Amino acid sequence: MRYISLDEIAKLVSIDRGMSVDDIVLSTRSRTIRETRQICHFLMEKWTLDSLPKIAKYTNLKTHSSVLHSCKVIHNDKVFDEEIASTIDNVENEITKLGFTKPVDRKLRLHNRKVKTIPSVKYALSRATMQQLLNEIRKRYEAK
């Protein structure tokens, strides 16, 4: 079995998003760089055997909790944001084309330690989106 490295994931994501690997490692908070970094964290957590502190150190973060937060954000955002979902799909397809295998589920690797579950998707909706959905439901209900 061949597992992908952190460097290779960062290169694949940066190519797909059209930026350099150095941009991902910077601590800039601009949206495009932040999203790209979070996508890297999500894929690194999913496809490598490296620990969360090691992933955090690779991207110049202070703690592993930032990586966990990134994974939760991307897990929720990929449902609503087509660009993020397509980036993840493109990179995962490229990883499998290169012949890498996906490691065992992280929860099993942690020997069934308690792992925080990702919050429900309903909390990822913005207030404006929720209001639009509620208005649409009300219109459908009143039409009956």
pTM assigned to the model:
0.71
Domains of the chain, each with CATH number or no CATH = 6-143 (1.10.1750.10)
By C-alpha distance, which of 110, 125, 11, 104 is closest to 68? 110
Confidence grade of residue 29 (pLDDT, cut at 50, 70, 90) = confident
pLDDT for 35-84, tens place per residue? 999 999 999 998 988 889 999 999 888 888 999 999 999 998 888 889 99
Q: Average of pLDDT values for 21-45?
A: 89
Q: Average of pLDDT values for 122-140?
A: 71
- 118 touches 73 (CB < 8 A): no
Alpha helices in the chain (DSSP H): 6-17, 21-25, 31-47, 52-58, 64-80, 82-97, 106-109, 127-143
